[in-house]
Amino acid sequence: MEVTGLVLLLLILPILLYLTSRVRVGKAGELCSIPAMEVLPDLVGRSAETGRPLHVSVGVAGIGGRMTSQTWAGLTLLSQLADEAAACDTPLIVTVADAVVLPIAQDIVRRAYVRNGNAEGYDSTNIQLIAPNAMAYASGVAGILEREPLTANVMVGQFGDEYLLMGETGARLGVRQIVGTADPGTLPFVYATADETLIGEEIFAGGAYTTGKPSQIGSLLTEDWLRWLVAAGILVATALKIFL
């Protein structure tokens, strides 16, 4: 198993480096449109105009487990939103469910405010640890959605059934919701309650869409190449099964 992992890693690395170099010289194609990514800057702008805060959640998972990549996707998006919020002096409420994620989220937001020359605008109490238990976290966030006059609710990360407590509360209150998760069991609930959805691996594309860095776009292209390889592998295996 470990050897397969190592082979896969050694196979992916050159593809990633090659495609990143192609992006650097401007030989990458256009990125497909993801509506949820396109509305994010507007949300920050509207939040700045109204003075009402924007809520960001990075999911109920932590750092270090199986769901780390989903939490990281949420943190990447938070980094971009924090940059825009700091530039417009928009209030940002960030909620986390894991104590390890808390200092990371605080650091991301603090750096964004410092980067944008608005260090005094940073308030560490706007990044809140709600509860490590998923259901308790959901009820805590539902309370914030009820109490705070939010412009929008952006939730990207790992969510389970407890998502409904938050998503349905936001939908009932008419808060604009942009939600993304990779859990197929939660996606129907997301589709039912959110205005814009990020389905499955779309949550990992946040960095490429918001920052446009060659390394991020190269990574997306690598994902596409691997997707073609997997699809070709499935077709070949099916053909072999049928004809041999």
Binding stretches for other proteins (CB under 8 A): 2-3, 5-6, 8-9, 12-13, 16, 64, 69-70, 72-73, 75-76, 79, 99-100, 102-104, 107-108, 111, 115, 124-125, 127-129, 133, 135-136, 138-139, 143, 147, 161-162, 164-165, 167-168, 171-172, 182, 184, 187-189, 191-193, 199-201, 203-205, 207, 213, 215-216, 219, 222-223, 226-227, 230
Give me the least distance between CB of 149 and other proteins, in Å please: 11
DSSP secondary structure letters along the chain:
-HHHHHHHHHHHHHHHHHHHHHHHTT---PPPP-HHHHHHHHHHHHHHHH---EEEEEES--SSSTTHHHHHHHHHHHHHHHHHHHHHT--EEEEES-TTHHHHHHHHHHHHHHHTT-GGG--GGGEEE--SSHHHHHHHHHHHHHHS--SEEEEEEE--TTHHHHHHHHHHHT-EEEEEE--TTTHHHHHHH-SEEEEGGGGGGHHHHHH--HHHHHHHHHHHHHHHHHHHHHHHHHHHHHH-
Cβ 42 to other proteins shortest distance, Å: 21
Pairwise CA distance, residues 58 & 48, whole Å:
21
Q: Measured from the CB atom, is 39 or 126 closer to other proteins? A: 126
Taking Cα atoms as reference points, which of 141, 135, 192, 200 lies closest to residue 168? 192
Closest contact distance (angstroms) between CB of 139 and other proteins is: 6
Please report how close the Cβ of residue 175 comes to other proteins at its closest, in angstroms.
Answer: 14
Of residues 50 and 133, the one with the C-beta less far from other proteins:
133
Nearer to other proteins among residue 47 and residue 76 (C-beta): 76
In the complex, least distance from residue 165 CB atom to other proteins, rounded to whole angstroms: 6
User: Closest separation between CB of residue 48 and other proteins, Å?
Assistant: 22
CB of 49 or CB of 224, closer to other proteins = 224
Q: Which is nearer to other proteins, 35 or 200 (CB)?
A: 200
Q: Considering beta carbons, is residue 5 or 26 the nearer one to other proteins? A: 5
